[in-house]
Every structure is written in structure tokens, then in C-alpha cells.
Amino acid sequence: MDWARRFSGGGVADAAVAVIVALVVGYAIVDPPGPSSAWPAWSAWPVAALVSFPIAFRRHRPWSMLALACAAGVLATVAGAVAAGAIWLSFVPTVLVLYLVAATVPARWSVAGLAGCACFAVAAVLVFYAQVLPGLPPAATPSELPPYWPVEIGAISVFLVTGWAVGTAVRWKRDTTARLVRHLAEAAVADERRRIARELHDVIGHSMSLIAVKATVANHVADARPQEVRAALAVIEQTSRSTLTEIHRVLDLLRSDGDPQQPPLSVPGLADLPELAAHARSAGVEVDLIVRDETELPPAVAVSVYRIVQQALTNVVTHAAPTRCSVTVDIDGREAAIEVVDDGSRHGRPPRARPGGHGLIGMRERVKMYGGTFSAGHRPEGGFRVTARLPYDPSGTKA
């Protein structure tokens, strides 16, 4: 089981590359451009396998495999197991492992690996041409590319530097992409919070207007109609409590206020959900909408429910249409439960990753405001499910 995990995904590709490189190195030893090795012909394949072996395991132990690849290439060169004119092929595995090291560790460490491999490789080539090559029998036929140690050293150096440079560039791109993703996620959260603040501004403005009107009425009829004064005061009390709760949410969860010049947004609610379903149907999604509301929602909760359903349907249209989708909203006076489930694309497209999108970040932030629970993910049987529970008090506060 452990071996199966090691050779899954990229491990299989590395094993295939190791086999190909071993075949190329073995063939170069058997039929070299220069004098053949003094070793038996059959030894070319074990030597090629030993030199190429680190490629297959480079993802699991990059530094160990780099040391092993370089050591194998150096020992094969110094021992005369490789062929003159093709020594650089013995260091191709070192180049491939060095690429992965450079792509996964900081440049200050990978450049040390580059320098070490280059020094050992150059030393091995010089030893081969000074001590091993003079004792080899001349080639049977003249070669178009006679053995020449500066060419070997130059080829090895160019390949090592290229492998290190490409790996370093890949690592830089990955780091830059990761920073950009974090920045976009943070910006999405900030934008969503500012949008929530603008929506709450409308709710709070409406509440304060209602309080002002009721206070004015109560002041004018205080002596003539005391019952109407009590009713007005009850409305003022309930509205002020709800408004104070919204202000606390803004102060606790939003770092900055919205743009004061931003035009006011309309305040949608449960009554607007059928229009959302109609828009989704026009985009190719068969929507079954079920709303069970036993009591009227506070304005802020109704906005959050509407926005969550809106974003969930938007994700269905974007990632799965045409498909079938069910939207269920249950309101029981203490909690608003939302479930949006789609069956996946009917075109058989593979599911696209949605858990990291900005829409899901916004939905999660809305649920967090009420201390509720939120989940989103692919279903085993296909499709995608979004569930949210928003506990609240009938007065509009968190439960």
C-alpha cells in the first residue's frame, strides 16, 4: 500500500522518465562516439539503471536523491564504466533531480546543490580524461565527435545551470501565485464585508427613520391617546434593539466602512427568491424552489438568506449548467436553514473545484455573522451541495 501511494500521480511519471533515461545512458555506453569502456558490454545496463534510479524517487527525498545521482555519475565516470564522449549523459539524472530541488527549496540552498554537483562533475571528467581514457583501446571507427573534455564539461555545466534556473523560475512562479491567491482571498473578504456594510446601512437607516416617526407620533398624541403611545414605544424598543445588534456586527466584523459615495442598494428578501429561480431556469438550470417560512424573517437575516441562495445558484449556473437543482429554505422562527443541491453537469464534464471561490468566501462570512454553520463540497454521487444555518432571535439578534 505504501509503494502504491509513492508511485501515484507524479511518481509514475518519474519512474517512466527514469526508465527512458536509463535506456539512453545504457545505449550510449554500449555504442559510444569515442573509445568503448573497458567494462563488459552487459555492465552498461546495470550502470545505467544505478545512475538513473534517483529520478524515480526524487519527489520523496529530493536532497538524498540529488546526492545519490551526483555520486553515481561521479563514480561511474571515475571507474571508467561510462564511455568517452558521452559522459555528460551520466549526469542527466542529476540535472533532473536538481530541477526538483530548485523548485522546492529556497534559492540560497539550491544554488549550493548546483555548485556542489558542478564541482564534482568537473573533477570526475578531468580524472577520466587524465587517467582512464589513455588506457582505453582506440575506437574501431573514427568518430564524428571525438572525445574532448572541454565539450563534456561545458555540456554538463550548461545542463546543470539550465535545470537549476528552470526549477528556480518554477518555484518563484508558485510563490508568486500563492501570494496572489492569498491577496485575492483577503480582498474578496474585504469586498464582501464592505458590501454587507452597505446593505446593513440601508437596514439601519430604515430602522432609524421608523424610530424617528414613531417617536414624533408618540410625542404628539401622548396626552390624547396613551394606548397609541405604548404601541409606538414597543415598536421603538424592538427596532432599536435590532438596529443596535446590526451596529455591533459592523463594528466587530468589518475593518473598514463602505464607500460613503456608493449608491444605496435595494434590500431583497424571501419574496425575491422566485425571481432568482426564474433567472437560473433561463440559464438552463431546472430549479425546484421550496420555501417553508412559518414566521417573518428580520430584514438583515432575509438579506443574508437571499444572498446565499443567489450566490449558490450563480455557482450552479457557472459550473454545472445545464443541470437540475433543488433549493430548500426552512424558517422556523429560530433558525434559517438553506440547502442548495445540484446534480452536476449533464454534459459529463469533470467537476470543477469550487470550495476556494470568492462566492463561497462571501457566503461563509455571512453565516459567520450569525454564528451559524456553513458547508460546501462535491457529493459522492455527483453534483455539489451548499448548506447554511443562520440562528437568530425573533427580534433580529443572533441566537
Question: Do residues 110 and 232 both lie within one domain?
Answer: no
One domain, residues 28 and 152? yes
Is residue 176 located within the same domain as residue 139?
yes
For residue 381, being part of any structural domain is answered with yes
pLDDT-based confidence at 257, cuts 50/70/90? very low
Ramachandran category for residue 275: left, alpha or beta (phi over 0 → left; psi -120 to 50 → alpha): alpha
Report the pLDDT value the prediction gives residue 201, as an integer from 0 to 100.
55
* Claim to verify: residue 58 and residue 133 sit in the same structural domain: yes
* 235 against 100, higher pLDDT: 100
Which range of residues forms the domain containing residue 222? 193-253
Whether 262 maps to a domain, the answer reads no
The string of pLDDT tens digits covering residues 264-287 is 444 678 888 888 788 777 666 788
Cβ burial 173-196 (10 Å sphere, 16+ → b, else e): eeeeeeeeeeeeeeebbeebbbbb
Are the beta carbons of 237 and 209 closer than 8 angstroms? no
Query: Residue 228 belongs to a domain with what CATH number?
Result: 1.20.5
Q: Indicate if 286 and 206 belong to the same structural domain.
A: no
Residue 3: pLDDT band by 50, 70, 90 thresholds?
very low
Asked whether residue 157 falls in the same domain as residue 23, the answer is yes
Q: Tens digits of per-residue pLDDT, 169-185? A: 999 998 898 888 888 88
For residues 176 and 198, state if they share a domain: no
Question: Given a cut of 60, is residue 57 above it in pLDDT?
Answer: yes
Indicate whether 295 and 343 sit together in one domain: yes
Can you give the pLDDT at residue 204? 61
The count of structural domains within the chain is 3
User: Collapsing DSSP states into helix, strand and coil, what is residue 323?
Assistant: strand
pTM for this prediction: 0.52
Which residue has better confidence, 260 or 42? 42
Q: Are residues 244 and 381 in the same domain?
A: no
With a cut of 90, say whether residue 164 has pLDDT above it: yes
- Alpha helices (H) along 221-298: 226-253, 273-282
Helix (H, G, I), strand (E, B) or coil at 386: strand
Judge contact between 307 and 196, C-beta under 8 A: no
Instruction: Tell me, yes or no, whether 360 and 287 share the same domain.
Output: yes
Average pLDDT (106-135) is: 87
Residue 206: pLDDT above 50?
no
Which pLDDT value is given to residue 255? Answer: 47
- The CATH number that applies at residue 360 is 3.30.565.10
